[in-house]
Amino acid sequence: MTRNELERCRDWAIAKVTTGNEPPWSWYQHMKLREALDAILSGMDVTQPMEGLQESGLPRGNGPQPAAGASQRDSVQRHPKPVLIRLPM
């Protein structure tokens, strides 16, 4: 969704809350929607778009990649075998 669409949804939720004609369960849901949209919109203000990453020359990705031919399953570290401890009865 675009920023404009998110702002329109937030304005709709605010209008529903301010009328006072909504049942309590609906009012609560509209408040949660408004708060979620506020958080998303404020997050959009502080993040840069993905296109900006390519232009800025910043590295992308989530860290080192597995070696060629290695499957993801092979690269997972195994848990050590559990140690059984006898507890007094």
Q: How many CB atoms lie within 10 A of CB 40?
A: 14
Between CA 21 and CA 26, with CA 25 as vertex, the angle to 5 degrees is 50
Query: Does residue 34 lie within any of the structural domains?
Result: yes
Query: Does residue 78 lie within any of the structural domains?
Result: no
Query: Does residue 39 lie within any of the structural domains?
Result: yes
pTM for the whole structure: 0.52
Query: Does residue 19 lie within any of the structural domains?
Result: yes
Domain count of the fold of the chain: 1
For residues 55 and 22, give the distance between their C-alpha atoms in angstroms, rounded to a whole number.
48
The domain containing residue 32 runs over which residues?
A: 3-47
pLDDT per residue of the chain (89 residues) written in tens, 0 to 9: 889 999 999 999 999 989 888 888 898 899 999 999 999 999 988 886 665 555 555 555 666 666 665 566 666 777 778 877 787 86
Query: Does residue 57 lie within any of the structural domains?
Result: no
Query: Does residue 40 lie within any of the structural domains?
Result: yes
Query: Does residue 63 lie within any of the structural domains?
Result: no
